Amino acid sequence: MDKLSIVAGSPVFRTLERTQWQAIADAASFRRIEPTADGHLFRYGDLASVLFLIVPTVASREGPVLQVGFGAPITSQSPVGYRLTEGEIAGDVEFLLGGLSERLPPRICSARILRNAAVLTIPAAVLAGIAQTEADFRRRIIRQAAQHLTEIASVHAERRAMHPEVRFATGLLSQLDDFGHIAGNKGIFDHQLKQQDLADNLGISRRLLSLRFSDWSARGLLETVPITLPDVARVERIAGLSPPNVAQNLRVVIENIEDQTARGLLAKASQTAADVLSVFSDNPVVAYQLALISVRLGANKQAKDILAAPMFAWTSSMGDLKDRLRTAWKQSLSLRNGDFPGYDEVAGQALDTLLAARLPMLAIDIGGLHARLSKEMIVAHQPGSPQRRHQALEAARLYREVHEASPNHYCAVNAATLSMLGGQEDEGRALALAASRLVAREPRKYWALASLGEASLVLGERQLAIGHFIAAAAAVDADLTKTTSTRHQLALISAAGGPDTSAELATLNIGDPVFFSGHVMKSNDGTPEELTEAERLLAIEMSGWLEGRKIPAVYMSLACGTDIIFAELVLEAGIPLNVTLPFTVGRFCDLSVAIGNGDDIATDWVARYFACLDQAAIVTELWRYEIRKAEIDYHYLNTNRHLAGETIFAAAALMTRPRMLAVIHPQAAASKAGAKNALAEFVARGFNADVIDARLRRKDSPTAPRGADPFAPMVFAFARSQQDNAEIRRLLDESGFGIRALKDRRIAGHYMPSGFEEAHFTASRLAALAAAAGSSARIICDFGPICGRDGAPSLDDILKLDAAADLTAVAIGNIFATSAFVMREVARGGDPGRYSVVNVSVEPNEDGQERVLRGARQTYKVRES
């Protein structure tokens, strides 16, 4: 393309005469630019005499060419101002500040080169002459330059007001918009992005970027090799926590946590809460939400750590607690979260509009949660023992104190039940009657009806209790989490020596979590007409199976065919969809989704696949690295077993039974990686399953996996600090661990056990030996494809496992396990009760006094034996 055509094609010059185009073209010169280590088109302070027109390219657009920011390239005053691409002009800000004359002031901006391109260098003197006579050109250049100047100023002001966490999230999303795309809620950069380039683009130092990467990686917000955002929605949520609409944004995210909790998405809700606390540190509303979710996840120690904060201390005084909550709320919205005029006023407005309405119930709930944690300890004691009765009465005392400080039916009925379990039946009856009277204030709500049912149970009115629980289940505000909480309470009553509550439990049916495994519909499995008809009939049959059935969650993969058909029906029904893929979203699409598409096929399975991923509650990629072709079927097999484990684990948490739905052809040959084998293994565990005829039979026969199964458990161990290195090295060496040093100079080790039980034995033994030696070790059990064709473990693959990086570097406890390990062990018969979720850490602040809540990548605390 010649210079004249380039000038004529620019929107800024489009209204000029041909002679003027020619004058500009004659004065201009070509210049190639490329993003070298320190590549800038111009820098802050440079003398200015030219403008730059970015030359359009014939190739498809690859993203912006220049990033223009105010000030020097890498300073605290160097936020991203704006980006420019082909056909746009750089250097116009100085042209405007120079009064559209040939005498330009020194550069006030820096323009960093983002990719290979070319520019036309145009002397300011030529444009100044044209601006003197052409009013339309003058208006255009003024409007464009003024807009750029405004963008620089506004972004600079916004970044000063943003919390660093919000600023980092906003910057990453901006980079993703320019250099990547989103697929299934995963942010993928189209070209491998180097960390130094990203640091430069974000206007921060390489060291600060490294610290951010370490933190975000530990929380599951970012993957570093290659750089990807596994959950874009989370990053967008963090980016939204910015001024000036603090009150509105915080209200939305608090309501979002409540909605996720109500739908039973507890892990996601706790993740959201932890993300909010990374910005609004120690916010009492969100921190309480996180503590409550932790209890519901069975992570009682995690909840205790959160409630140990001074703002949550229970002293029997509601007024004192409310004062501390008000103070904590103001501090969480203080100037440390931003620096812009009017922030205190905004914080005060948020306090008035958001906290005031919640404060009375929040104080009661906090006191009640302290009591609930005491109640959870009852079953730790032997049935009928004095210790169990004493624990019941201690929990009753705490509930009674909260009720007396602020009368409410929830604490009153809990105190009644626990008094009954502790042998103080008269006290229990009196409190049950008090709870019944208080219910009159909110007669048709779920918790009121559930309290009536429990009060009737304490009073011995069993039929009346059943009626109240039936009414509670039908209440407008009933949800999965509330019903599960009541079921847990009824089960506790029976387990703690109270009456048999099986009849009451039966009234609160929450359904069964479902594991789905289906039939892949390849494009060559039938004619286009046969495939279309098969899909229609299968959709009708699966829809009929779902109709009227209560399902708290579905766990499945997402291949073309019946997987996607069923997933769409599940999403339409409003059931949480949990998708687990054997490998990355893109690789799975290539191997298991695109094979259903064809020139004559009416549907687009790939588009439907990504639509389902976008709406899924959770998407998990089990392995993000290269896979040997001979091992692909083993990855599919592992995924089916992982999904079975997830379903069994969820059922145990909900105190119900898992169920499977399989879509298979009766005459289809069974393959190790297929639905038929998954069904056989699930039924062999004694669980219920339903089968739907796939109607189409695969034309290609499945082959047995080649080579050895590469999947095996692995035990990792880490010294907590460098001071523990010598002793931990000795113990690891004596226990047969391979030993290495981490980047932070701590000692780490890995050991491949013969199976899951040896993994547990090894971990428990090592933890005990370390404790006896006065040292501190953290042990993490993981599971993955670590063995080669000869069955021997590969160190390269071992170090790709999630636990190899010490996932729980900020978590409290000794022995942990990854989801990969837990779900595979549970699928083969392991006890889900052996594990409790850990996804939050409580760290000491720099002064060693205050404690800071931080999100962590979800792992599981192992009950030591």
The predicted-structure confidence for 320-341, as pLDDT tens digits, reads as follows 999 999 888 888 876 444 444 4
What is residue 80's predicted lDDT score, i.e. its pLDDT?
Answer: 54
Lowest mean pLDDT among 120-129, 214-223, 361-370, 498-507: 214-223
Place of tokens 């962590």: 856
DSSP 66-111: EEEEESSSSSTT--EEEEE-TT-EESHHHHHHTTSSS-PPPPSEEE
Q: Which helix (H) or strand (E) holds 188?
A: strand 186-189
Backbone dihedral angles phi then psi of residue 784, each to the nearest 5 degrees = 180, 180
Amino acid at 499: P
Q: Residue 350: which pLDDT band, with cuts at 50, 70 and 90?
A: low
Can you name the residues that pair with 855 across neighbouring β-strands?
840
HSE, side-chain direction, 13 A CA sphere, residue 448: 12
How big is the CA angle at 104 (ends 101 and 109), to the nearest 5 degrees? 135
pLDDT in tens, 504-519: 999 999 999 999 999 9
pLDDT in tens, 611-632: 999 999 999 999 988 888 889 9
**Pick from 520, 544, 516: nearest CA to 694:** 520
Q: Residue 356: which pLDDT band, with cuts at 50, 70 and 90?
A: confident
Q: Is 47 left (phi over 0), alpha (psi -120 to 50) or beta?
A: beta
pLDDT in tens, 638-657: 999 999 999 999 999 999 99
Terminal Cα-to-Cα distance of the chain (whole angstroms) = 75
pTM score, two decimals? 0.82
Judge whether 325 and 307 are in contact, CB under 8 Å. no
**Pick from 645, 636, 639: nearest CA to 702:** 636
What is residue 341's predicted lDDT score, i.e. its pLDDT?
Answer: 44
- How much is the CA Rg of the chain, to the nearest whole Å? 31
Strands 554-556 and 577-581: parallel
CA 151 remoteness from chain centre = 32
The whole-number average pLDDT for the span 215-244 is 84
Q: For residues 439 and 848, what is the distance between their CA atoms, to the nearest angstrom?
A: 45
The residues near 788 (Cβ < 8 Å, ≥ 6 apart) are: 710, 794, 797
Place of tokens 């606390």: 277
pLDDT in tens, 58-72: 554 567 888 887 765
Q: Which two tokens stand for residue 342?
A: 């009017």
The whole-number average pLDDT for the span 83-107 is 89
pLDDT in tens, 274-307: 899 888 888 999 999 999 999 998 888 889 989 9
Which residue has better confidence, 175 or 534?
A: 534
**Pick from 411, 412, 418, 423: nearest CA to 395:** 418
Q: For residues 814 and 768, what is the distance between their CA atoms, to the nearest angstrom?
A: 10
C-alpha pair distances (Å), 270 with each of 223, 286, 334, 824: 20, 9, 23, 24
pLDDT in tens, 458-495: 999 999 999 999 999 999 999 999 999 999 999 999 98
Q: Which two tokens stand for residue 620?
A: 């998990």
Whole-number percent of the chain with pLDDT over 90: 51
Amino acid at 466: I
The whole-number average pLDDT for the span 561-586 is 95
Judge whether 835 and 815 are in contact, CB under 8 Å. no
What is residue 339's predicted lDDT score, i.e. its pLDDT?
Answer: 45
The whole-number average pLDDT for the span 817-835 is 94
Q: Which helix (H) or strand (E) holds 837?
A: strand 835-844
C-alpha pair distances (Å), 825 with each of 458, 638, 680, 801: 40, 11, 17, 17
Q: Which helix (H) or strand (E) holds 815?
A: strand 815-817
Q: Is pLDDT above 70 for 800?
A: yes
Judge whether 148 and 92 are in contact, CB under 8 Å. yes
Which residue has better confidence, 183 or 633?
A: 633
What is residue 351's predicted lDDT score, i.e. its pLDDT?
Answer: 60
Q: For residues 161 and 167, what is the distance between their CA atoms, to the nearest angstrom?
A: 9
DSSP 43-72: -TT----EEEEEPP-SSPP-S-SEEEEESS
Can you name the residues that pair with 842 across neighbouring β-strands?
853
The whole-number average pLDDT for the span 315-322 is 91
Range 789-825 burial, b when 16+ CB lie within 10 A, else e: eeeebeeebbebbbbbbbbbbbbebbbbbbbbbbbbb
Lowest mean pLDDT among 426-430, 545-549, 654-658, 775-779: 775-779
Q: Residue 679: which pLDDT band, with cuts at 50, 70 and 90?
A: very high
Judge whether 714 and 781 are in contact, CB under 8 Å. yes
The mean pLDDT value of the chain amounts to 87
Q: For residues 122 and 131, what is the distance between their CA atoms, to the nearest angstrom?
A: 14
**Pick from 215, 295, 253: nearest CA to 852:** 215
Q: Is pLDDT above 50 for 540?
A: yes
pLDDT in tens, 100-159: 998 899 988 888 888 888 999 999 999 999 998 988 898 888 988 888 887 766 665 555
What is residue 811's predicted lDDT score, i.e. its pLDDT?
Answer: 55
Q: Is pLDDT above 60 for 735?
A: yes
Q: Which helix (H) or strand (E) holds 733?
A: helix 725-734
